């Protein structure tokens, strides 16, 4: 009975983790600071792991430079597939995965401000916990995020339950009471 409960529990944990992964990876746009792995099954010389730099381009065997930043994993996968199909391979099987997301940054009224590795499902509260927690002067109603994908870089007031994205800058302001 306990074994069955444990199996059910771990199944639920795994499926919820996979849904968060799929949700975050499906529409996630790559940016500088992300580390990705490109795998072409059966072709070890075409499988690479690379850090996206500020140029946003990667150097890929046979295809040269490919623009990666601003694209989803699926879009980059399709670009590589289209480039390899025909001239180099008959029916390539390409996979693009994120090895490590670019960091997020948190400053203001947290104990250890700085940059921290992003994790899917990260909220402002969890981000603050990574930074040592809120200080005693922190105002939970004055938390602002500048989204890395916002071209205007607008500072938006959010709650402690707001989801954090890679590259975001979180500022926790001081409470006056």
CA distance 122 to 157: 17
Q: The domain 1-101 belongs to what CATH superfamily?
A: wza like domain (3.30.1950.10)
Q: Which CATH number fits domain 104-174: 3.10.20.30, 3.20.20.70, 1.20.900.10, 3.10.560.10?
A: 3.10.560.10
Mean pLDDT of 83-108: 91
107, 132 contact by CB (below 8 A)? no
Confidence of residue 81 (pLDDT cuts 50, 70, 90): very high
Q: Which residues contact 168 (CB under 8 A, 6 or more apart)?
A: 104, 105, 145, 146, 147, 148
Indicate yes or no: pTM above 0.85.
no
Does the structure show a pLDDT above 50 at 36?
Answer: yes
Domain positions in the chain are 1-101, 104-174
| Per-residue confidence (pLDDT) for residue 117, from 0 to 100 | 93
pLDDT tens, residue by residue, 57-68:
999 998 999 999
pLDDT-wise least confident of 13-22, 67-76, 105-114, 157-166? 13-22
Res 14: pLDDT:
42
pLDDT digits (tens, 9 = 90+) for 148-159: 888 899 999 999
Mean pLDDT, residues 148-171 taken together: 93
**Rounded mean pLDDT of 51-78?**
93
């Amino acid at each position: 009975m306990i074994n069955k409960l444990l199996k059910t529990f771990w199944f639920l944990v795994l499926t919820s983790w996979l849904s968060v992964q799929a949700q975050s990876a499906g529409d996630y746009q790559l940016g500088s600071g992300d580390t990705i792995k490109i795998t072409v099954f059966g072709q070890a010389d075409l499988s690479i792991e690379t850090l996206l730099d500020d140029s946003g381009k990667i150097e890929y065997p046979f295809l040269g430079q490919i623009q990666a930043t601003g694209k989803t994993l699926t879009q980059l996968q399709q670009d590589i597939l289209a480039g390899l199909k025909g001239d180099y391979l008959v029916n390539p099987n390409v996979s693009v995965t994120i090895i490590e997301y670019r960091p997020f940054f948190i400053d203001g009224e947290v104990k250890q401000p700085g940059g921290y590795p992003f994790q899917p499902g990260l909220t402002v509260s969890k981000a603050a916990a990574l930074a040592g927690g809120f200080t005693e002067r922190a105002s939970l109603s004055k938390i602002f995020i500048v989204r890395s994908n916002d071209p205007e870089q607008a500072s938006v007031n959010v709650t402690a339950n707001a989801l954090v994205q890679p590259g975001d800058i979180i500022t926790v302001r001081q409470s006056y009471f």
